[in-house]
Amino acid sequence: MQFFSNEDGKLVFRENGETLQIEPWGESSFRVRSVFLGDISDINYGLLEPENKITADIDVSKTDGSEGDADPGRRATITNGNITARCFVQPWGNALRISFYETKTGKLLLEEIPNGGALSLKARSFKRISGDNFRLKVRFSSDSCEKLYGMGQYQQERMNLKGCNLELAHRNSQASIPFVLSDKGYGFLWNNPAIGEVHFGLDTTEWVAEETKQLDYWITAGDTPQEIITNFTAVVGRAPMMPEYGLGYWQCKLRYYNEEQVLDIAREYHKRGVPVDVLVIDYYHWPRCGDWRFDTEYFPNPKKMIDELKSMGIECMVSFWPQVDIRSENYPEMKQQGLLVKSRSGVDVQMVFHGDNLFMDATNPRTRKYVWNKVKKNYADLGINTFWLDEAEPEFTGYDYENYQYFAGSVLETGNIYPREYARLFYEGQKENGQETIVNLIRCAWVGSQRYGALVWSGDIMSSWEDFRKQIVAGLQMGIAGIPWWTTDIGGFHGGEVDSEEFRELLIRWFQFGCFCPVMRMHGSRLPHSKIINKAGEEREVTGAANEIWSYGEKNYHIMKRFIEIRESMRDYIRSIMKEASETGKPVIRTLFFEFPQDERTWNITDEYMFGGNLLVAPICHKGQVKRNVYLPSGCNWINAFTGEKFAGGQDIAADAPIERLPVFYREDKELNFMF
């Protein structure tokens, strides 16, 4: 029997209803697709078409007489640069097993599980749900010593994901981006937006899609993490160049609820000589969710307000929610035109918050056009160039994914693309409007969100030391997953009491960390809250306590002001690493092993990172800590950016960290054009 064929430069396998296809897709990379009783779809959920066609070396007749079968029809290989896939049809049940190798050395990178002989196991299991939809499980053999990184943003302190079970779904503060980087020298993308799960077990790795039509994954080989991420971002897209106002300090809180407050804060920063690049107007500045305009009771002259902010060198960012209140002025038309997410059963309400809300369907191109026209008229035409895209998962009450339907398909089948299409709505509208540089803050992301100017923040996290530590890991994993623009609410979102000395210590340490994040942004729902009642007697969303740098005492004010000045001094350096991210896909904040992969110690460190290629940052992320251990990677000497002390690499040091500073070191072998 001839199981394999070479069809237009693709290796195709057919057996008992399954059609599987392996083709070159980028540098030293393959795309693998499989369907059961159907035709392979060309839909590219996460991948872009390669810029250049690559010709792979395909052999459908190789045999060495091993494994008890000399039939050449049971073997095939395909090679693309430094990756080779070897395919073998096992005699028991004609089950195909695919193994991926490094071409140069013959080193095994990843392989599917064997069928186990009489066990008749399946590496690719399609369980029919209905029609051409299946529950899919794909299993690979696991190297128990392997280290795995990436996968987006999960709220945990672990960097190495080996042994972890992860939900492939978005939630508030969770962004599932299914790309994983292995220390064995490969990267793997689960190119499927279905709700599901992955288990990085010691014996097997299992990827599960709850509802899908086909298997689709991408794999690449690289000698270094940089090479792997370069290959990956080349096929999923890279961030555009960060606008200049993304390089400095952003001021925000829950929430500046009227024009007077916004301008008073901006004027005070300006009077004090503290540079602010962006000032943010948070949610419920609108009458109802889905109106997508300023409430004239609180913002009677928004154009005048925006113009005054610009005169002080400040961009105005406004919050946007995708919810549409059933009382909104736009609800009847959007419902009639089919522009909303549909509930499959029960009452058609998808989130209850200040009213009954449905979500706009960002996967529908007609919705994107309709909503952008509202945004252009009510915001962009006033001079607003940057938006805060909140609720981007979207935040279904209860996250009952099986109960909702998008234009693109059921949420179980396509749910994870929503935040990317949400970012796309604004990016494409802004481009059409003539805007050249674009950054929009968003609460979630999926594969490719970065190419739509998405700056992801880590959601509504708690104001705690534990949550602070989790954000360091989250930001590094997001960079590996292709999202270089990332930030947090400095100080955390929930639970920070302005007058608490314990919170003030946490805030200062978080502020210092924020200085060395891709974007430095102050935000939080500070306690105590104050109620807001409108003229009609209706209770509106609360406003939190003051959250400006002078709100936490004179000593803390001067510390925070100093770190804003440090951020300003690094503007040229930050611009250069943003350029790297745009051109090569390199993260802005990087794991130590990204820069020093030959140093084995760097693969195990979770609380230090590189800010660009030159600066090593060691945040203070434990209460009361004024000294911490810092590992300085081998390969260069290091200089303390605050004290000028020099240290040899490849050693641990005890670094002083009084409340006024944190340990930051720069490489002696790299040019540095700023000093602290």
The structural domains of the chain, with segments of one domain joined by +, span 4-236, 249-545, 591-667
Phi and psi at residue 74, in whole multiples of 5°? Answer: -95, 0
Look at residue 284 in the predicted model and tell me its pLDDT.
96
State what percent of residues in the chain have pLDDT above 90. 94
Taking residues 598-618, report their average pLDDT.
Answer: 98
Strand 29-36 with 18-24, pairing: antiparallel
Active-site hit among 216, 393, 467, 599: 393
- Determine the Cα–Cα distance for residues 446 and 450; give it in Å rounded to an integer: 9
Q: According to the model, what pLDDT value does residue 573 have? A: 97
Reported confidence tier of residue 63, pLDDT bands at 50, 70, 90: low
pLDDT of residue 73: 82
59 among known catalytic residues: no
Matching residue, tokens 């009677």: 300
- The 10s digit of each residue's pLDDT in 225-244 is 999 999 999 999 999 999 99
Cα separation values, 153 from 288, 384, 618, Å: 31, 29, 20
Query: What is the model's pLDDT at position 609?
Result: 98
Least confident of 92-96, 231-235, 284-288: 92-96
Q: Which fold has domain 4-236?
A: Immunoglobulin-like (2.60.40)
Res. 65: pLDDT tops 70: no
Q: What angle do CA 375, 275, 378 make, to 5 degrees?
A: 10
Contacts of 428 (CB under 8 A, 6+ apart): 368, 372, 452
- Give residue 93's pLDDT band: very low, low, confident or very high (50, 70, 90): confident
Stretch 40-59: mean pLDDT: 93
Alpha carbon distance 617, 472 (integer Å): 11
pLDDT at residue 71 in the model: 67
pLDDT band at 675; cut points 50, 70, 90: confident
Highest average pLDDT, of 49-53, 73-77, 653-657, comes from 653-657
Question: What's the CA angle centered on 336, arms 330 and 337, to 5 degrees?
Answer: 85
Residue 62: pLDDT over 70 = no
Q: Domain 591-667 is in which class?
A: mainly beta
Which one is catalytic: 400, 460, 497, 668? 460
Average pLDDT over residues 547-570: 98
**Domains 4-236 and 591-667 equal at CATH topology level:** yes
Question: What topology does CATH give the domain 249-545?
Answer: TIM Barrel (3.20.20)
What is the pLDDT, as a whole number, of residue 347? 87
Q: What average pLDDT does range 147-176 have in this prediction?
A: 98
460 in active site:
yes
Rounded Cα–Cα distance for residues 418 and 431 (Å): 20
Clarify whether 390 is annotated catalytic.
yes
pLDDT higher than threshold 80 for residue 202: yes
* pLDDT confidence band for 398 (50 / 70 / 90): confident
User: Which pair of tokens denotes residue 184?
Assistant: 């064995």
Q: What is the mean pLDDT of the chain?
A: 96
Q: Over 70: is that where the pLDDT of 272 sits? A: yes
Report the distance separating Cα 28 and Cα 25, nearest Å. Answer: 8
Dist CA 296 CA 288 (whole Å): 12
Identify which of 515, 522, 620 has the alpha carbon closest to the alpha carbon of residue 574. Answer: 515
Q: Of these residues, 23, 390, 395, 548, which one is catalytic?
A: 390
